[in-house]
């Protein structure tokens, strides 16, 4: 039977001293009253600020535990049968059978299951709930509870780690989007509403544009002067229910590692262009390595500005190799259009190019994995703004979003309650 209410009692579990049964009887998920309050506080204190499941496991003193966690997860819920494999996995991880150990294992189990489910929905653009139903064991049998129209992690015992799980899932999904058969089409927004409109239009991930952000605030682009505005926008966009990547130019004069570690972004662009030329290769590679050490789950797109500055492809390739060796997840060469050059660089790492006079399929056949619009959308919007004003002046009736359309874009419903 299906029950739409999420107010059903949390399933009770018997006490036990080993295996999955012990884990169930000692985690916050399956408790009520004082036990629940105490265990929830304990679990909340354990939640670290990390960017990958691997780092979460390490932070919880369970390094290398994800294979065992994958064995435990299918048996974790009370209505699921417990396998000998799952019991053995719990015992390998439970160096002691106390509440804190159970909290660490339980938190990792729930994070593992939640992030994998949500990441796949984000990757494919599936708007439905990552987990469509939950099941509750009751005295009358197992009841299926619909999770349609309920935010991720919702319920009477909302998961204390749902914000972290959402962040890690966005990171996982965004990385996977760069390893698909067809290129990721990444539109670049300059404010919250442009990003929300693009997501509503069906784009699976959103980037920011440094020109758009800077120019919208009356600041020249490329001079490292719009850091405050770029970070403020990134803070707004973390609530979008899709991965967001942030253009950080060359770091806005601060340590990029500190900057990236403080953002809830699935990706960043970090460029080797400077206001007065190109950074030294070694210097940029060291910055990239430092960022990846601090935030390994964040997709670092190493932008190479050689083509902007008329440098030969040989130096572009050398820089790309150095940045990938330093840990960059992808490379971005604005201005790159020559097919043979594209194919050469696409062999090194997921390659990002700007939208150009080729179809996504044609660019995909050359090996491109990501196509960005850069500042194009902002420039087009600016052009359309002037054209619309001119149409009004000349007696025309221009097309536009309605007032209600825009209100809907900025309503709480466009934001992720979990992220």
Average pLDDT, 10 consecutive residues per value, the chain (419 residues): 52 89 93 88 94 97 98 92 98 96 95 93 87 62 63 61 91 98 98 96 97 97 94 95 96 93 95 92 97 97 93 94 98 96 97 97 98 98 96 90 92 54
Identify whether the C-beta of residue 68 lies closer than 8 Å to the C-beta of residue 56: no
CATH number of the domain within which 374 lies? 3.20.20.60
Burial-class residue 262 by CB neighbours within 10 Å (0-12, 13-18, 19+).
middle
Of 168, 195, 225, which residue sits at a domain end? 168
Contacts of 404 (CB under 8 A, 6+ apart): none
Please indicate, yes or no, whether residues 93 and 140 belong to a single structural domain of this protein. Answer: yes
Q: Are residues 245 and 360 in the same domain?
A: yes
Please state, in angstroms and rounded to a whole number, the distance separating the CA atoms of residues 171 and 296: 10
pLDDT at residue 45, rounded to an integer: 95
Is the domain of 356 the same as that of 216?
yes
* Cβ–Cβ under 8 Å, residues 5 and 147: no
pLDDT given at position 139: 64
Domain match, 289 and 335 both:
yes
- What are 330's strand-pairing partners? 301
| Structure confidence at residue 4 (pLDDT) | 45
Its domain, for residue 136, covers 2-168
* Residue 202 covered by a domain: yes
Q: Are residues 112 and 228 located together in one domain of the fold?
A: no
Beta 273-274 vs 277-278: how paired, if at all? antiparallel
Domain check: are 237 and 313 in the same one? yes
Domain boundary among the residues 168, 193, 208 is at 168
133 with 268, same domain: the answer is no
Residue of 280, 245, 276, 275 lying closest to 260 (CA atoms): 245
- Residue 418 is given by DSSP the state -
Do both 275 and 374 map to the same domain?
yes
Dihedral sign for Cα atoms in the order 250, 251, 257, 263 = negative
Q: Are 202 and 343 within one domain? A: yes
Buried b (16+ CB within 10 A) or exposed e, 333-343: bbebeeeebbe
Going by C-alpha positions, the residue among 124, 117, 121 that lies closest to residue 180 is: 124
Same domain, 210 and 123: no
Residue 363 near residue 342 (C-beta atoms within 8 A): yes
Bridge partners, residue 145, by sequence = 3, 134
In a shared domain, residues 268 and 345: yes
In a domain, 295, yes or no: yes
pLDDT (0 to 100) of residue 282: 97
Helix/strand/coil for 276: coil
214 and 132 within one domain:
no
Residue 11 inside a domain? The answer is yes
Instruction: For the chain, state the CA radius of gyration.
Output: 24
Q: Work out how many domains the chain is built from and give that number.
A: 2
How many Å apart are CA 66 and CA 49, to the nearest integer? 18
pTM for this entry: 0.91
Whether 318 is in a domain gets the answer: yes
Sequence-ordered alpha helix ranges (H) in 177-243: 192-200, 210-216, 227-237
d(CA 118, CA 150): 14
Q: Which of 113, 135, 168 corresponds to the end of one domain?
A: 168
């Amino acid at each position: 039977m299906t029950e739409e209410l999420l107010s059903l009692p949390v399933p009770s579990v018997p006490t036990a001293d080993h295996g999955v049964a012990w884990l169930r009887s000692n985690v916050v998920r399956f408790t009520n009253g004082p036990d629940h309050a105490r265990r929830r506080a304990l679990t909340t204190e354990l939640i670290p600020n990390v960017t990958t499941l691997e780092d979460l496991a390490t932070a919880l003193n369970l390094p290398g535990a994800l294979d065992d966690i994958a064995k435990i997860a299918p048996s974790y819920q009370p209505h699921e049968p417990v396998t000998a494999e799952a019991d053995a996995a719990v015992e390998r991880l439970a160096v002691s059978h106390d509440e804190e150990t159970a909290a660490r294992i339980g938190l990792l189990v729930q994070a593992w299951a939640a992030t994998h489910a949500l990441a796949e929905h984000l990757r494919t653009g599936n708007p439905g709930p990552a987990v469509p139903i939950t099941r509750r064991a009751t005295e009358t049998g197992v009841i299926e509870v619909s999770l349609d129209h309920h935010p991720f992690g919702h319920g009477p015992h909302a998961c204390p780690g749902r914000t972290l799980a959402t962040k890690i899932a966005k990171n996982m999904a965004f990385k996977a989007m760069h390893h698909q058969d067809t290129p990721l089409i990444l539109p670049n927004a300059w404010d919250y509403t442009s990003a929300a409109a693009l997501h509503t239009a069906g784009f699976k991930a959103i980037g920011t544009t440094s020109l758009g952000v800077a120019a919208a605030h009356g600041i020249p682009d490329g001079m490292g002067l719009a850091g405050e505005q770029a970070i403020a926008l990134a803070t707004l966009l973390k609530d979008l229910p899709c991965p967001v990547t942030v253009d950080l130019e060359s770091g806005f004069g601060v340590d990029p590692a500190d900057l990236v570690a403080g953002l809830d972004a699935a990706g960043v662009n970090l460029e080797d262009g400077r206001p007065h030329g190109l950074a030294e290769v070694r210097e940029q590679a060291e910055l990239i390595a430092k960022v990846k050490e601090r935030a390994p789950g964040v997709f670092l797109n190493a932008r190479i500005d050689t083509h902007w500055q008329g440098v030969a492809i040989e130096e572009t390739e050398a820089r790309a190799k150095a940045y990938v060796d330093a840990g960059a997840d992808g490379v971005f060469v604005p201005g790159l259009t020559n097919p043979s050059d594209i194919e050469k660089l696409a062999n090194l790492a997921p390659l990002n190019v700007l939208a150009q006079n080729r179809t996504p399929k044609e660019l995909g056949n050359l090996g491109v994995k990501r196509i960005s619009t850069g500042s194009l959308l902002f420039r087009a919007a600016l052009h359309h703004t002037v054209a619309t004003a001119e149409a009004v002046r000349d007696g025309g009736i221009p097309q536009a979003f309605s007032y209600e359309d825009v209100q809907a874009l900025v309503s709480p419903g466009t934001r992720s309650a979990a992220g």
